[in-house]
Homo-oligomer: A and B are copies of this chain.
């Protein structure tokens, strides 16, 4: 980054695209929980992800995983066994998105309590408990 002030930097519309791109990559209902699960570094099976994300359907899960794979966030490793086994891990790109997300979490944690509408977000979180 240059020595321009943060406001000047942000005021350049060219920064909108990258932000939108990033939010799109992790957007949707299930991608963030999936990244969260895989962040431990453990290769995780499809069925294991499905178990932890209690209310996700096969439809939504496979679609989210496919999109994350297309974005280069997760790696899909298929073992041709019977029964079939597929394990998912974060790629290097996937791991690299965690620090930015932590910045969002920090900001959110510092401000959501003072927001009356805060409660709405903790419902979805419980699906990963």
Residues in A lying within 8 Å of B, measured CB to CB: 1, 6-11, 13-27, 32-33, 36-37, 39-41, 70-72, 93, 96-109, 111-112, 114-115, 117-118, 121-122, 124-125, 128-129
Q: Is chain A's binding surface mostly helix, strand, loop or mixed?
A: helix
Beta-carbon contact of B71 and A13 below 8 Å:
no
Kindly list chain B residues whose C-beta atoms are within 8 Å of the C-beta of A117. 70
The oligomer's copy count stands at: 2
Given the known interface contacts A17-B121, A109-B18, the answer about A37 and B23 at a Cβ–Cβ threshold of 8 Å is no
Given the known interface contacts A71-B115, A107-B22, A125-B14, the answer about A7 and B97 at a Cβ–Cβ threshold of 8 Å is no
Residue from B13, B27, B101, B115 in contact with A36 in the complex, judged by beta carbons closer than 8 Å: B13
Beta-carbon contact of A128 and B39 below 8 Å:
no
